[in-house]
Structure 1
Amino acid sequence: MNVRWVALKYIKPGAVLAQRVADGRGRTLLARGIVLTDSLITRLKRVGIRAVCIENASTEDVVVTEMVEEETKIEILSMTYETLAALSSTTSFSYKVKPTFLRSQFGPLLSEIIHQLRQHNGAGEQLGSVYLSDGELFHHSVNVTFYALTLGLQQQMSETDLIDLGIGTLLHDVGKMRIPQHILRKPGRLSHAEYRTVQLHAQFGYDILKDIRDISTKSSLVALQHHERLDGSGYPWGLKAPEIHPFAQLTAVADVYEALTANRVYRQAYLPHEAYDILLADKGTKLSSAVIDAFAQTISIYPIGMSVRLSNGDGAVVIKPSADNRQVPIVRAIENERGEPIRPYELNLATASDIHIVTCES
């Protein structure tokens, strides 16, 4: 597939979609092959789409292998959306989501996701590909789950543990459904009182999940402890390393990375390598060294097809992870700083010390 993920603000009319465009719940908005017009681009911006995948002759040999199949992503997004909505109330549940049967609902789908990840040897080269202007809670939850399961596979967890981990990560932020939206979506800095209110979501989530009979204690502890830190600086209880469940320690790494690389109402997303550097800065003090080592060995932070701008001004596309360092990609430069086509050339950024990525344009 000839692909290039490009932010809508850089898209010009006449670009052809190389992949379908989906809305927040995974439903198709525009099909593959559609030619984008000014009005379509405006409509996509209005519904919060941040980037689209377009055809590009300079990358026609680049093969994107999704770690999780598109249909499976749609199904898990939809199920997570419905479940979080249902669990936001303690008094009523959707007829589609019975509180005592969540494991039986999620289990088969999580098993399929685990199977698909195993087929790719657990290497997370194409994860977290939801491009919205401000990631919705269920999108964040699904992306965290993909990262967490990849890390769990690398650590050779059993199938049962992987499913328990998956349920815990899909529902780890369910407590935020009880936090006022004006606080969660506040564009400016939170007051001390507002921040304390947000912190309550960990306990709220645990209180919701612990009473669901077919969800394990391990899964519930993910909701309670995913903001705890090894040095005791986290919340809600200020636990230290031995007191924090391994599932929560693993989720913390996936949660921090996914949150940093997503756009928020109060800030733009960090570049993937900047977010990774933040993980490394907290390695062994706040975040688990073993989990971060697993992250480094399995997850490529620059997805194939991502558009980037290099420090020399050229626009490029990620074509594969570098064998020298999975967190620094090999790119193909295809345009100059004015957006004009150039003779393509490839560059291994792991060994090109004088050139680096300055921004992502997707």
Structure 2
Amino acid sequence: MRPVRWVATQYVKPNSILAQRVPDKRGRTLLTRGVVLTDSLIRRLMELGVRAVCIEDQATEDIVVREVVREETKVRLFGMTYDTLHELAVTQFAPHVRAFQIRKMFTPVVEDVIDELRSTGAAADQLSTVYVQDGELFHHSVNVMFYAVTLGLKLGLNRHDLIDLGIGTLLHDVGKLRLDRKILQKPGRLTEEEFRIIQQHARIGYDILMRQGDISARSAVIALQHHERLDGSGYPDRLVGRDIHLFSQVAMVADVYEALTANRVYRRAFLPHDALAILENDTAQGKLPQRVMEAFLATVSLYPLGMSVRLSDGALAVVVVPSAHNRQYPVVRVIEDADGRPVEPYEIDLAHARDVHIATCEA
């Protein structure tokens, strides 16, 4: 554990020192801890789509960010997810060497995630630190799994359930890899036909997973149902209420929040509290499950420890007391004024501040 601050790559200043390694989409190391970031390195990270990095910062030297999931676990998880999704997507059936072994392969690393999330209080403070690249299906899948397992722990699911939930959420979007990337990455509004094609990924993914001999039906159904909604407005089967499996209900909340808070080719990421407002509105309208949303509110911090934020008055601040249980109102420490000049650090409790609020996230 060490004093760190999460900052969006586009706002990193030259000569900043990495406090954590930077992985690629397969979990392999791009840059190691301790590297001094130059202009060219920063540009390269942005070109690769690296959203944020963790840097050393003396202004936050008393802030110690704990790892909710060990680096070694994340490396294994990203690599296995990338390889497995790619393999399932490019071949009609997994090669013989992998056939009927996916659950066996994933179970040990998912168990490690369960144990590590449980030991760190179900990741209430620090889930955002798993973000690496926006718009990458592999990273989206891992992030959704972290949220889903966190919610599953809060809901009291047993270990066997958590393993099936974890594996199912890791593979829930495999069907998208069989679709035209031009449609998936289209920057503008989808046509009705393009949206119909996108909707096919749910059933395609389910069919792919059900052909794998050792993946449980409870895991596979997440791929089929994670876009259903309790009021029947979802797809592909317009299921309602209890017709939607609990695992799929957990996945739909995790999937929506992760998608809203990540940058996409067609829009910027929503602020966490704005994303939460959308989820709460959908819950009030009967689209999302109340029980799962209550677990979300009780465990997931919108603005975790060490996150850099820009305030409405232009000042740069860092979160020093996470926002669990008070939603969009963390305690922040101001470290720069609106003109980018360092200031003598001072703290603001945004729950009681009436003239300033978070305008943007810079991590």
TM-score w.r.t. structure 2 length?
A: 0.96
Rounded Cα–Cα distance in structure 2 between residues aligned with 1:154 and 1:353 = 33
Q: How many residues in Structure 1 have an aligned counterpart in Structure 2?
A: 361
> Secondary structure of the equivalent of 2:145?
helix
5+ long unaligned stretches in structure 1? none
Match of 2:295 in 1: 294
Instruction: Find out whether 1:335 has 2:363 as its counterpart.
Output: no
Match of 1:147 in 2: 147
Match of 2:218 in 1: 218
Deviation by residue 1:55-102 (Cα, 9 ceiling, x = unmatched): 111101101112111110111010000110111144353576x13111
Rounded Cα–Cα distance in structure 2 between residues aligned with 1:309 and 1:163 = 38
CA drift at 1:324? 5.7
Instruction: Find out whether 1:113 has 2:103 as its counterpart.
Output: no
Question: Superposition pairs for residues 224-239 of structure 1, below 5 Å?
Answer: 224-239=224-239
Rounded Cα–Cα distance in structure 2 between residues aligned with 1:17 and 1:297 = 32
- 1:296–1:327 Cα contact (<8 Å) kept: no
> Secondary structure of the equivalent of 1:78?
helix
Question: Superposition pairs for residues 67-216 of structure 1, below 5 Å?
Answer: 67-94=68-95, 98-132=98-132, 134-216=134-216
From the superposition, tell whether residues 324 and 29 of structure 1 become closer, same or farther in structure 2 (CA, over 3 Å): closer
Rounded Cα–Cα distance in structure 2 between residues aligned with 1:31 and 1:144 = 26
CA drift at 1:27? 1.3
Specify the code of the residue in structure 2 equivalent to 1:9.
Q
Identity %: 58
- 2:69–2:113 Cα contact (<8 Å) kept: yes
- 2:302–2:324 Cα contact (<8 Å) kept: no
> Secondary structure of the equivalent of 1:129?
helix
Rounded Cα–Cα distance in structure 1 between residues aligned with 2:33 and 2:11 = 19
- 2:174–2:205 Cα contact (<8 Å) kept: yes
Return 125-134 or 284-293, whichever deviates more: 125-134
5+ long unaligned stretches in structure 2? none
Specify the code of the residue in structure 2 equivalent to 1:136.
E
Q: Which runs of 4+ in 1 moved over 4 A?
A: 130-133
> Secondary structure of the equivalent of 2:263?
coil
Deviation by residue 1:19-78 (Cα, 9 ceiling, x = unmatched): 112211121111111111111112212222122211111101101112111110111010
- 1:67–1:124 Cα contact (<8 Å) kept: no
Return 53-62 or 13-22, whichever deviates more: 13-22
Rounded Cα–Cα distance in structure 2 between residues aligned with 1:63 and 1:249 = 34
Rounded Cα–Cα distance in structure 1 between residues aligned with 2:11 and 2:105 = 41
Return 158-167 or 16-25, whichever deviates more: 16-25
Specify the code of the residue in structure 1 equivalent to 2:20.
Q
Rounded Cα–Cα distance in structure 1 between residues aligned with 2:128 and 2:213 = 30
Rounded Cα–Cα distance in structure 2 between residues aligned with 1:257 and 1:187 = 20
- CA RMSD after TM alignment: 1.5
Match of 1:259 in 2: 259
> Secondary structure of the equivalent of 2:146?
helix
TM-score w.r.t. structure 1 length?
A: 0.96
- 1:272–1:301 Cα contact (<8 Å) kept: yes
